[in-house]
Amino acid sequence: MIRLLISLYLVVFLSIIAINQGSELIWQQLAYQQPDDLRHASQVAKSLQASLSVSKQLPSSLRHYPLDEVAWLAEQKAQLLQGDIVTTYTEKNNALLSFLLTGTDTVVQLGPFKPVEQVLIPKYLLKLSSFVLLALLLMFWLRPLWRDLMQFKHVTEQLAKGQLNISIAPSRFSAIATLTSQFHSMATKVANLMNNQKHLVNAVSHELRTPLARLKFALAMLEPQTPESVSQMSQDVQEMEFLIDEMLGYARLEMAQNTLKFESFDIVALLDEQIAKLKRTSTKHIELVCPYKTLFFTAERQYMARVLQNLLGNADKYGQSKVYVQLQKTPNHVKIVIADDGQGIAETDRTKVFEPFSRLEKSRNKSSGGFGLGLAIVDKIISWHGGRCEIETSKWGGAQFVLTLPKQNQA
């Protein structure tokens, strides 16, 4: 911070000094070298006043008259009596120079002289050029800083999209070159950690399938001898297989963002399709409130189907007898509400349920099922679409999930 402040202060300070000195030099060389008859005449009048006061002789070409012949202002008369040069102007704005001969009441008048031409336009142009030059100098100082900041933005966007090929070329002239290098190191470590995590999850999940397959074969061989024990162990093996499938599915999501294909599809048809699948296995009353026959919406259809499948499955699993689905359209968003009449989710737990492997039950059991990845998958997919998933309390006291998705291409 101190380095950045000192660097900016020195650039601005030195630039202002250089611009001021340069502007003054240019102004003196260009503006004041123009002919200035009045200033030159004033110098001549002073010299003439000094010489006439000594010789007491007036050339015939000089106009002179008594002091009281003209109605002078009090200030002008006082200046004349003090020996100063008084400047007056005619109706045509021509200048007249008057001075009083020393020891007499005779006023000598020189002129008329043309008025001094205004030089405002060149003056303001010079000032404007100075400000433009200062802006260019500041842009020259800011360019390496802007370049590094744009690299920060690019790298964070890459990490957010799951692209792990991080490359930064910090500028040595930038005021934040050290910070850029440290950020590069941090981003590389984060990318390596993410890459290692993916490989670890995939390797562990795949490697577990081989011993599980052997266990299933062994259990099949033992089933005629101890069917009860084998049945319980088979359920445990199936639960492990389901967990592996869930972990693989979640791991694939980390890499899927780079291959998303957004397209326009009918969200009403997708809802009908998922509800029809649920009705095949569910005994609960499923109510759909949708005032639209078709509603086209731009998103990744495959993953939106996964979101609806997970939320509908949760509502069916934890609801008592009802599952409620509603589709709403606003000027800027599409909203999908999925509710049930179960026990609901406490406000303190509503952010935790979106964390991977997070479950409200303290123990995992076969009756409740699940491994805490369903809502984490929902949250990740919705975030890809720039939307949000909020949990509320339904009118029956159960959980109500509200999906809010930005309207991309709705007809």
Q: pLDDT tens digits, residue range 165-212?
A: 666 665 666 666 677 777 777 777 777 777 777 777 667 766 777 777
Q: Which CATH number fits domain 260-406: 3.40.640.10, 3.40.50.300, 1.10.287.3510, 3.30.565.10?
A: 3.30.565.10
Average confidence (pLDDT) over 250-260: 67
CATH level 3 topology of 195-257: Helix Hairpins (1.10.287)
Q: What is the pLDDT of residue 35?
A: 46
Plot region of 370 (φ>0 → left; ψ -120 to 50 → alpha; else → beta): left
Q: Does the pLDDT at position 296 exceed 60?
A: yes
d(CA 94, CA 325): 91
37 confidence band (pLDDT: 50, 70, 90)? low
CATH 3.30.565.10 domain range(s) in the chain: 260-406
Q: Over the stretch 150-165, which tens digit does the pLDDT of each residue have?
A: 777 777 776 666 666 6
Residues of the chain with CATH 1.10.287.130: 195-257
pLDDT at 33 over 50: no
Mean pLDDT estimate for the chain: 78
CA proximity to 144, closest of 116, 178, 189, 101: 178
Q: Which of 44-53, 166-175, 287-296 has the lowest mean pLDDT?
A: 166-175
pLDDT at 393: 93
- Distance of alpha carbon 124 from alpha carbon 103, whole angstroms: 47
